[in-house]
Chains A and B, each alone.
Chain A
Amino acid sequence: MEYGLKPLGREKFWLWALLTPTLIGLLFGALGSVVATILLSFAKWDLLTPPAWAGLVNYASLFTDPKIILSLTNTLVFAALYVPGVVIVSLLVAVLMNRKLRGVSIFRTIYFLPAVTSAVATALVWNMIYGRDTGILNFILTQIGLQPVCWLCTENAMYSVVIVNIWGAIGEGMIIFLAGLTAIPREYYEAAEMDGANGFQQFFRITVPLITPSIFFQTLISMINAFQAFDYIYMLTRRGQGDSSIPVVVFSIYRNGWNFFNYGGASAQAILLTVVVAVFMAISFWLERRYVVYE
């Protein structure tokens, strides 16, 4: 880009003054942290005794410690349920809202509410809703003659937590998709209608192909959020001893570091998380080049 204001004389100083905070952040906050975490991942350190070189021990345990393997599997299962869930539900909501119905702005406000409020506060109420003996959900189930479900027991917790996470993410996804949908020219639909295409055909032949950029973008964002999911898992699945019934990687990093003072192991897990996210991002961008159509 050729365009730019040339700093004159003493303004060179001011330019770098304006950039100083960002440079500090880049150097220490980002670059320094990554290097430090990599170094820490080769160490054994509880912050109470001096650090000791641990070699590849922390990395070996990534593949042998059943707890760490479980946390990785949980994260992958979570992502596999959450990402398609968010994309499909928020696309559906956006399509309904894009029909220009009367009073649609009220619905938009309502659907956006969970995206505004903190996961901690809403998790408190979900915890009540999911209550085994006292919750409203099981009350409704028994009223219509079904068996109550133990929503937050180990066997169901994953699904219950994914549902709440999707609930919290619909608002943002809906906005992303609405932005994509409003950009589609109305003439396309009018032409399709003249040719006798029904609603489903219009959706799959016009809407979906034309919003592949939004679908790709929303998938990417949801994936990043899925790998970093923590709040609802901490709030809904924590048990008496401080562990979780469905520990995911971030939960496990927190627990390893700040409950067990194993900062070396936690660092190795953080590196693992970074690599896993990077691999999935690379796959997404590869798929993007093949399937996403930009006009």
Chain B
Amino acid sequence: MTKQNQKLILDIISYTLLVLGGILMVGPFLWMVSTSFKLPGDQFTKTLIPPTFTLNNFRELFSVDLNFVLLFWNSAYISILTTVGQLLTCAMAAFCFAVVKFKGRDLLFTLLLLTLLIPPQVTLIPNFIIFKYLHLIGTSLPLWLPAFWGGAFGTFLLRQYFLTIPRDLVDAARVDGASLIQIFWKIYLPLAKPALAALSIFTFQGAWNDLLHPLVYMPSVPNTMLTVGLAFFQTQMTHGGKFTVLMSGALISILPLLVVFFFAQKQFIEGISLSGVKR
């Protein structure tokens, strides 16, 4: 067999495998989209194209009694506040660890990295108890406030990026009389945009998709996040046989992240290689 023939055969096998795998990966999404445009009576038809195309599921989803808009709004502002908090406080700490020289720096950074080993379930119970005594269960505060006290993952990611920024810039700024805060705000933050973008995406995605924390802190509909709301609808609608409305809810809930993904695919994917880890 010539070398070219061999390559052709390998290419064909590769394509076949990738296409078959691709169908498995994208299939559930196509099924979700398809079902959300079907009539409730057609919900179990096995065709990808809806027999009768309808927008009624979305109308029902946004009708007043499901409070879907409230769920969406809660998910949106909680995720945005979480992202802002993480970006701000992680960048502040990362700048100190990467650029400034001070006593105890390495010890403090090591301690911070060690916290990566603590499973979130360990912090969940005492945090819940504290927030319960403050009468904050059922409000969104316990979900976004902790984002404002930094985090090991974000600080580590940004510090690694800050370390790659040339030191000469800092020295030159110092000669011109720039203060610590000016160097942070005017040199480091603007130059670290790629890392900041990657961290924003991770943080937003993590907050938007989280189930366990809202389940604990905002456990009851309607005032909760989309994930908890959808889980609640699942028990309601599965018995009521309204998979079509459920699918339209699932579709709307993944839409914001899909939009971000299609516009910022590079950041999504580079972020993973940049950091190696997620969350």
Contacts and interface: CB of A to CB of B under 8 A. Distances in A.
Given A18-B93, A126-B28, A167-B24, A234 B231 contact: yes
* Interface pairs A-B: 5 shortest CB-CB: A4-B101, A25-B149, A22-B150, A36-B126, A118-B209
Contacts of A124: 32, 230, 234, 246-247, 249-250
Contacts of B231: 120, 234-235
Nearest to B88: A21
Contacts of A271: 122
Interface residues of A, number: 90
Contact of A254 (B31, B215, B272): B215
B115 A30 contact: yes
B122 A29 contact: no
Contact of A34 (B11, B118, B243): B118
Interface stretch (A7-15, A61-69, A76-84, A204-212): A7-15
Q: Which of B123, B126, B129, B278 has the most chain A CB atoms closer than 10 A to its own CB? A: B126
A28 B235 CA distance: 37
Contact of B22 (A111, A175, A179): A111
Contact of A22 (B93, B123, B205, B219): B93
Interface in B196-247: 205, 208-209, 211-212, 215-216, 219, 226-227, 230-231, 234-235, 238, 243, 246-247
A175 B269 contact: yes
A191 interface: no
B141 interface: no
A133 B215 CA distance: 30
Interface string A52-68: 00000000000000000
A283 interface: no
Interface in A65-114: 93, 96-97, 99, 101, 104, 107-114
A294 interface: no
A121 B211 contact: no
A193 to B, nearest CB: 8
10 contacts: A1-B106, A7-B102, A37-B125, A113-B261, A120-B250, A125-B35, A129-B31, A221-B277, A258-B216, A270-B121
Q: Which of A22, A230, A270 has the most chain B CB atoms closer than 10 A to its own CB? A: A22
A49 interface: no
A157 interface: no
B140 interface: no
Interface in B159-192: 167, 170, 174, 179-181, 183-184
A5 B100 contact: yes
A7 B125 contact: no
A287 interface: no
B17 interface: yes
Contacts of B234: 124, 127, 235
B15 interface: yes
B96 A118 contact: no
Nearest to A164: B28
Contact of A172 (B21, B238, B257, B278): B278
